[in-house]
C-alpha cells in the first residue's frame, strides 16, 4: 500500500525533506508552495514526485502532512486544517524552530481529532529556496520531535519511520524543553552576534579602520548575524520569554567578567579562559543547530595563481566547497586562505588532499 506524503512549503527545509523521503519505499511525495515560481522549480528539479495546485484536494489522500513553512505561516495553515476533509488517522507535523505556540495550536487540533506532532530539523544552509534543497541536508543532524503528552505511540513511530530517511538523529522533547535549549545554543547566540556587529558599527564611526581589521575570530563569532532577519524577527517574538531569561543570565555573566577584570588577578583571569576552553573543546562536532560551516585555514605562499592551484587540487578529487575567502587581518588565525565545506567529511578529504603538497600548512577551525 502506498503512503502519501504532502509537503507544504518547498523551500530549503521542506524541499530537502521531500528529496530525502523520496527514498522511502512505497511512498509518494506530493508538494505544494504558495509561490507559482517555486512550484515550477520544484517540478523541474524533481523535488517531489508530483507538485499539486489544489492543496485541499491533495490533503484528502495524505497519510502524512509536513509543513515546511515559517512558524507564523504554519499557525495559519493549522487553523485551515480544521475545515479540510482529511483522511482518518492522518499525521501532521511541522519544521519550525520554536515549538511553544505551535504545540498550543496542536492541542486545539487534537480536540478536532487531528494528530499533530511538532518537528524541528536542526540543520540549514547559507543558501535558501527550493534550488538549495539537498537530500543529505539533515544527515547526522538532530531532528527534534515534540509530541503532545500522551500522544499515540503508534503515530510517533509512523512519523519516525518516514523521517529516518533524512538520516537525521531523531530525539523527542517536550516543547518547553526544546524552546529553552534552542534559546541557549541557537537563538540567544544570534542576538549576541548581532549585538557585536552593532558595537563594531558604532566603533568604526570614530575609528574607520576597525571594520577593516574585523577578520578571523570576529568574523567567525559573528557569522550567524548574516542570517535571514525576517526569520530571526519571528524567532525572537515567538521565543521571547526564554530569550529574556538568557539575556538576564548573560548580563549576570558580564558583571562577573567585569568584576574579574577589575580585580586584576592574573590567575583568576587565566582560569576563566582556561575553563571556557575546556568546556568548548568538549562540545560535540557535526551536530549543531542550523547552518554550520566546516572551515579549513590554509597558509599559502604568495605567488600568482596559487588560489586557483588550491581549488584545482580540490576539483581533481571532486571535493565541493561552499565558500572561499582571503583573511587579511589574521592575528588569531593560522592561515590566510579560509575554505569552507558543507560537512566534516569534505573538510577531512580536503585536508588530506592538500597535505600531499608540502607547500601548504593547515588548521581546522
Q: Residue 305 maps to which CATH number?
A: 3.30.70.260
Residue 283 lies in a domain: no
Last residue of one domain, picked from the residues 173, 195, 217: 173
Question: 118 and 246, same structural domain?
Answer: no
Question: 224 and 209, same structural domain?
Answer: yes
* Range of weakest confidence among 37-46, 189-198, 334-343: 334-343
Question: For strand 64-67 and strand 91-94, is the pairing parallel, antiparallel, or unpaired?
Answer: parallel
* Range of weakest confidence among 43-57, 128-142, 254-268, 294-308: 294-308
Question: 184 and 55, same structural domain?
Answer: no
Residue 275 lies in a domain: no
Question: 213 and 228, same structural domain?
Answer: yes
How does residue 159 score in pLDDT terms, banded at 50, 70 and 90?
A: very high
336: which 3 cell numbers? 590566510
pLDDT > 90? residue 332 = no
Residue 43 lies in a domain: yes
Report the interhelical angle of 229-238 vs 240-263 (nearest 10°). 100
Question: 210 and 148, same structural domain?
Answer: no
Last residue of one domain, picked from the residues 222, 239, 254: 254
Residue 226 lies in a domain: yes
Q: Convert the pLDDT of each residue in 30-59 to its tens digit.
A: 999 999 999 999 999 999 999 999 999 999
pLDDT > 70? residue 255 = yes
**Which domain CATH number covers 238?**
1.10.3660.10
**Which domain CATH number covers 159?**
3.40.50.720
Count of domains observed in the chain:
3
pLDDT > 80? residue 360 = no
Question: 120 and 148, same structural domain?
Answer: yes
User: What mean pLDDT do residues 25-33 have?
Assistant: 97
Domain that holds residue 341: 294-364
Burial class (CB in 10 A: 0-12, 13-18, 19+), 236: middle
Question: 168 and 79, same structural domain?
Answer: yes
Residue 336 lies in a domain: yes
User: What mean pLDDT do residues 306-312 have?
Assistant: 89
Residue 214 lies in a domain: yes
Question: 119 and 59, same structural domain?
Answer: yes
Measure CA 358 to chain center. 36
Residue 271 lies in a domain: no
Question: 169 and 21, same structural domain?
Answer: yes
Question: 200 and 80, same structural domain?
Answer: no
| Residue-averaged pLDDT of the chain | 89
**% of the chain exceeding 90 in pLDDT:** 65
Question: 187 and 131, same structural domain?
Answer: no
Residue 55 lies in a domain: yes
* Strand-by-strand arrangement of the 169-172 sheet: 50-51, 27-32, 3-8, 64-67, 91-94, 115-121, 142-146, 169-172
Give 275-341 as a DSSP string. Answer: HHHHHHHTS-SS--SS---EEEEEE---STTHHHHHHHHHHHTT---SEEEE-S--TT-S-SEEEEE
Question: 158 and 54, same structural domain?
Answer: yes
Last residue of one domain, picked from the residues 173, 193, 221: 173
Q: What's the pLDDT at 330? A: 43
pLDDT > 70? residue 168 = yes
Amino acid at each position: 500500500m502506498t503512503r502519501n506524503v504532502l509537503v507544504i512549503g518547498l523551500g530549503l527545509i521542506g524541499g530537502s525533506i521531500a528529496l530525502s523521503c523520496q527514498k522511502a519505499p512505497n511512498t509518494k511525495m506530493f508538494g505544494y508552495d504558495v509561490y507559482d515560481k517555486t512550484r515550477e522549480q520544484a517540478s523541474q528539479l524533481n523535488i517531489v514526485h508530483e507538485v499539486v495546485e489544489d492543496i485541499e484536494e491533495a490533503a484528502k489522500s495524505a497519510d502524512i502532512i509536513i509543513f515546511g513553512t515559517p512558524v507564523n505561516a504554519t499557525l495559519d495553515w493549522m487553523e485551515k486544517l480544521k475545515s479540510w476533509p482529511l483522511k482518518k488517522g492522518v499525521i501532521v507535523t511541522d519544521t519550525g524552530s520554536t515549538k511553544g505556540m505551535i504545540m498550543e495550536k496542536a492541542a486545539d487540533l487534537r480536540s478536532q481529532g487531528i494528530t499533530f506532532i511538532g518537528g524541528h530539523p536542526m540543520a540549514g544552509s547559507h543558501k535558501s529556496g527550493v534550488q538549495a534543497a539537498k537530500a543529505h541536508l539533515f544527515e547526522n543532524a538532530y531532528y527534534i520531535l515534540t509530541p503532545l503528552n500522551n500522544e499515540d505511540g503508534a503515530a510517533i513511530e509512523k512519523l519516525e519511520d518516514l523521517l529516518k530517511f533524512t538520516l537525521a538523529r531523531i530525539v523527542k522533547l517536550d516543547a518547553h524543553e526544546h524552546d529553552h535549549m534552542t534559546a541557549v545554543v541557537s537563538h540567544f547566540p544570534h542576538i549576541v552576534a548581532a549585538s557585536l556587529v552593532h558595537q563594531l558599527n558604532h566603533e568604526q564611526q570614530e575609528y574607520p579602520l576597525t571594520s577593516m581589521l574585523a577578520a578571523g575570530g570576529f568574523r567567525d563569532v559573528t557569522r550567524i548575524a548574516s542570517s535571514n532577519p525576517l526569520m530571526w524577527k519571528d524567532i525572537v517574538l515567538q521565543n521571547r520569554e526564554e530569550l529574556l531569561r538568557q539575556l538576564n543570565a548573560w548580563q549576570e555573566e558580564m558583571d562577573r567578567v567585569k568584576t574579574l577584570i577589575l580585580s586584576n588577578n592574573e590567575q583568576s583571569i587565566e582560569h576563566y579562559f582556561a575553563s571556557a576552553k575546556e568546556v568548548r573543546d568538549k562540545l560535540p562536532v557535526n551536530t549543531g543547530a542550523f547552518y554550520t560551516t566546516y572551515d579549513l585555514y590554509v597558509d599559502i605562499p604568495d605567488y600568482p595563481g596559487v588560489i586557483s592551484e588550491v581549488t584545482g587540487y580540490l576539483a581533481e578529487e571532486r571535493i565541493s566547497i561552499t565558500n572561499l575567502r582571503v583573511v587579511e587581518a589574521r592575528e588569531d588565525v593560522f592561515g590566510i586562505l579560509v575554505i569552507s565545506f558543507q560537512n566534516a567529511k569534505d573538510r577531512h578529504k580536503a585536508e588530506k588532499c592538500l597535505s600531499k603538497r608540502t607547500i601548504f600548512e593547515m588548521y581546522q577551525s
